[in-house]
Amino acid sequence: MTRSARIIGAPTDYGANRRGVDMGPSAIRYAGLAAKLESAGVGTIDDGDVQAPRAEERDPDVVQPKTGKTKFLKEIEDVSRQLATRVSDALNNGETPLVLGGDHSVAIGSLVGSAADADIGTIWFDAHADLNTPETSPSGNVHGMPLAAALGIGEFEETVWANAPRLSEENVVLVGLRSVDKSEKQLLEERGFTAYTMSDIDKRGIAAVTEEALEIAHDGVDGVHISLDLDWLDPKEAPGVGTPVRGGATYREAHAAMELVANHDGPRSFELVEVNPTLDQHNETASLATELAASAFGKTIL
């Protein structure tokens, strides 16, 4: 084994608009994640799950000072702090953190932990930009805000626990966008983020787009966090997600992108999010998640 991955579960659906995604970590493990990684020559250590009380036990609609109305922000803070510590500890032990969501709000903890002792970039493989803030979000669901939170945008500027100061905007790349809110589009243009839509992938091909994304994300930093939302793929490939959008990446495009990630020094940290077993068919989406993780960690056909 040439690398070691520390698996960290974050079984939350605090940030989602549909229940069930909190079962994602169990579904991904059940689909054989450890075996898939070991077949790629990667040793695995399962660190269990962070503590995340059931959403039914909490009040979702809490108005937070200076942050407007969000859902479950206090619970998301608790999970993010736990997760950031575990991700940072894994890196300090020479292991690659592999976070299993849960909804995409868990990315706040992943990014904060990955950037604790290093300058990082990130590639956001997602149908959505996740750049809403409490002020601009149409729903108040934090799974549409984690990138804005980590970058301290808007009302998140003073939300210290959610900020990843050593995450550089110049090294943030979004790949595969196809559902972007008006406020997010404006922000993408104003801040100059590098973003590729599915139309860009159609025109240029997944290899060219991913190679360019990797070059930008890696430029001048210590490593890159890979955030893979399974709704990046077309719903025909990944039916078990809460916010499916037609016209996503194909099975082979997704594997090709992850293989390129592996060839480009591999991820500093990695997360799989938004697998919802209650919406899945025969655990198909969770199984696909394990395959893509293995490709990102170096598994090849030959």
Question: What Å distances lie between residue 13 and 9, 19, 125, CA to CA?
Answer: 12, 6, 20
**281, 226, 25, 78: CA torsion to nearest 10:** -140
104 is catalytic: yes
CB atoms within 10 A of CB 204: 13
264 is catalytic: no
Which residue among the candidates 49, 77, 143, 155 is catalytic per the annotation? 143
Q: Which of 231, 234, 271, 291 is catalytic?
A: 231
CB count within 10 Å of CB 129 equals: 22
Q: Which two tokens stand for residue 93?
A: 């032990």
Name the β-bridge partners of 4: 43
Is 274 a catalytic site residue?
yes
Contact 77, 149 (CB under 8 A): no
Which tokens is 207 given?
A: 């290899």
d(CA 266, CA 218): 11
Q: Is 225 marked active-site?
A: no
229 assigned to active site:
yes
Instruction: Give Cβ neighbours of residue 62 (< 8 Å, ≥ 6 apart).
Output: 70, 71, 72, 73, 74
Spot the catalytic one: 47, 229, 237, 253.
Answer: 229
Choosing from 47, 104, 218, 280, the catalytic residue is 104
Kindly give the pairing relationship between strand 61-64 and strand 68-71: antiparallel
Is residue 141 within a helix (H) or strand (E), and if so which, with residue range?
Answer: none
**Annotated active-site residue in 77, 130, 155, 234:** 130
Is 130 a residue of the active site? yes
User: Which tokens in the block code for residue 65?
Assistant: 């000072």
Contact 28, 275 (CB under 8 A): yes
CA dihedral (70, 73, 76, 80) positive or negative = positive
Written as six digits, the tokens of 201 are 């992938």
Catalytic residue among 13, 126, 234, 291: 126
Cα(94)–Cα(144) distance, integer angstroms: 31
Write out the catalytic residue numbers.
104, 126, 128, 130, 143, 229, 231, 274
